Amino acid sequence: MRYDTKMSKNSTVYDVIISGGGLVGLTTALALDSAGLRVCVVDALPFETQLAAEFDGRSSAIAYANMRMLRALGVADRLGDNKGPINEILVSDGRPHSGLRKGGPGPFMLHFDAAEFTGKDAGEPLGWMVENRHMRMALLGEARSRKTITLIAEVRAEQFNFEGARAQVHLSDGQVLSAALVVGAEGRNSPARKAASIRHHGWGYGQWGVVATVAHQMPHNGIAHEYFLPNGPFAILPLSGNRASLVWTETPAAARYLKTAPDDFFQAELERRFGSFLGELTPAGPRWAYPLTLMVVEKYIAPRLALVGDAAHGMHPIAGQGFNAGIRDAAALADVLADTARAGLDIADPIALERYQQWRRFDNTALLAATEGFVRLFSNDVAPIRLLRGLGMAAVDKIGPARRFFAREAGGGVGALPHLLRGELPQ
Ligand SMILES: Cc1cc2nc3c(=O)[nH]c(=O)nc-3n(C[C@H](O)[C@H](O)[C@H](O)COP(=O)(O)OP(=O)(O)OC[C@H]3O[C@@H](n4cnc5c(N)ncnc54)[C@H](O)[C@@H]3O)c2cc1C
């Protein structure tokens, strides 16, 4: 076991053990620490491995309400210039270049513009783009700076005992930690979820997401593009400088090939799809390929256990909402646990955990359903369906309130917001 922080290692001091210190586990640690709880995070990997450039090539679109939370937690400052605003999103049907037809986005059918925000959201961008490795660095930097958070790396949480007044977590090096509550944040194959016998269901989309960064000649002006090709969506997401992150959906076989294809082949295939609207393109750095799947769980809680992030819900990245949903889980859990602790109750009180579940399960299920619908509608090249989605997008585009509703919904600025999503610390 490697302790990453220098505080007391007496396991009896923890209120919460977070099993899994990925993007959502670390966000949850900061949120719960800000709610006054004593938190220990355990991750199977060395944190340095997670920070290495080759570990995770993805970038995340962070909803604007979630960036308010990261600001309140001290993470946004640590991101510095490594975050860039998304000012506009253009959605269109795209066609790859073939013969005389030019590739790239078609005429846009749906246009979201941050300039349309009014009231409390006025002046906010639609969201922010951050490379995951910068996000991991900022989250970890903030967690390390808080002496009240214990970080343990290079050990796996292997067995869990949820009975009695405190839960026990047995680690791969033989140590046993205990706390009032365990938070399962180990991603889709959560061992905590399995130990609590919570069932999950899901399916693969028969699609993989190829992820790469490209440098381009002309500025992107903070405009994100999402367009739909026969094998699935192709997203161009603006990064700092003249760079963009691509999420390119392909069949598994094509994705595996593109990941390791010679540079000139990759470049040619890229240009066929990307088009020339940002001038000359230069692929920068390695490529990654992720299988795309959906996962739902039968419940988010069990005695002395709460699930957050991909341990609780797995969704297609078409709407860039997986990490965002995990950030919202962390915010809601922090409010619920802060209220419960203030009332002098056991933080794993079943009624409190039920409140967390009700708060998050409905939102996440609605998001999963919407994502599922988008994937089916937009990964389809059948002519009537293309016509239907074109008409649907054009209709939403014509109706200002509908456009603004979708922009706010994706930005996380609607519904009953926990304190952190309003930019305030849990009270
Ligand atoms: C191509 C692609 C693009 C995406 N784009 C976006 C986007 O733009 N916006 C967005 O919001 N989301 C996006 N997502 C989704 C987002 O990346 C995930 O939802 C998010 O990374 C999930 O984080 P997590 O911390 O819940 O899980 P994970 O990232 O899976 O982290 C789990 C952690 O638990 C640790 N762990 C596992 N087992 C154990 C154990 N037994 N003991 C201790 N530790 C353990 C692992 O080492 C890991 O650090 C995208 C996803 C893909 C595939």
Backbone angles phi and psi of 161, in degrees to 5: -125, 115
Please tell me the predicted confidence (pLDDT) of residue 11. 47
Pocket test for ligand 1, best of 49, 50, 60 (most atoms within 8 A of CB): 60
Structural domain for 363, as ranges: 2-62+131-202+295-382+416-422
* CB 326 near ligand 1, within 6 Å: yes
Residues 226, 121 share a domain = yes
Residues 107, 182 share a domain = no
Please tell me the predicted confidence (pLDDT) of residue 381. 63
Residues 356, 211 share a domain = no
Q: Considering 244, 269, 293, which residue would you say is the last residue of a domain?
A: 293
Please tell me the predicted confidence (pLDDT) of residue 116. 81
Number of folded domains that form the chain: 2
Residues 371, 303 share a domain = yes
CA atoms within 13 A on the CB side of 156: 7
Residues 279, 155 share a domain = no
Residues 133, 79 contacting (CB under 8 angstroms): no
* CB 322 near ligand 1, within 6 Å: yes
Residues 196, 158 share a domain = yes
Mean pLDDT of all residues belonging to the chain: 88
* CB 21 near ligand 1, within 6 Å: yes
Alpha carbon of 357 to ligand 1 centroid (Å): 20
Residues 325, 364 contacting (CB under 8 angstroms): yes
**Predicted TM-score (pTM) of this structure:** 0.92
Task: Supply 1's token pair.
Answer: 């076991």
262 is a domain residue: yes
| Closest ligand 1 atom to Cα of 322 | 19
Please tell me the predicted confidence (pLDDT) of residue 387. 66
Please tell me the predicted confidence (pLDDT) of residue 391. 65
Q: Considering 240, 262, 293, which residue would you say is the last residue of a domain?
A: 293
Pocket test for ligand 1, best of 323, 329, 375 (most atoms within 8 A of CB): 323
Residues 269, 185 share a domain = no
396 is a domain residue: no
Please tell me the predicted confidence (pLDDT) of residue 7. 41
* CB 15 near ligand 1, within 6 Å: no
pLDDT in tens, 395-413: 666 666 665 666 666 666 6
Please tell me the predicted confidence (pLDDT) of residue 93. 75
Residues 50, 102 share a domain = no
| Closest ligand 1 atom to Cα of 45 | 47
Please tell me the predicted confidence (pLDDT) of residue 409. 67
Alpha carbon of 22 to ligand 1 centroid (Å): 6
Residues 196, 182 share a domain = yes
Residues 286, 245 share a domain = yes
> Any idea what the CATH number is for the domain that residue 114 is in?
3.30.9.10
Residues 218, 304 share a domain = no
Please tell me the predicted confidence (pLDDT) of residue 49. 94
73 is a domain residue: no
Please tell me the predicted confidence (pLDDT) of residue 180. 97
Please tell me the predicted confidence (pLDDT) of residue 415. 73
408 is a domain residue: no
Please tell me the predicted confidence (pLDDT) of residue 8. 42
Please tell me the predicted confidence (pLDDT) of residue 98. 54
267 is a domain residue: yes
For the four alpha carbons of 280, 282, 288 and 289, in that order, the dihedral sign comes to: positive
* CB 185 near ligand 1, within 6 Å: yes
Please tell me the predicted confidence (pLDDT) of residue 394. 65
Quickly tell me which residue has 């593009």 as its tokens: 225
Q: Considering 293, 313, 339, which residue would you say is the last residue of a domain?
A: 293
| Closest ligand 1 atom to Cα of 309 | 26
Residues 41, 30 share a domain = yes
Ranges of the chain whose pLDDT falls below 50 = 1, 5-11, 100
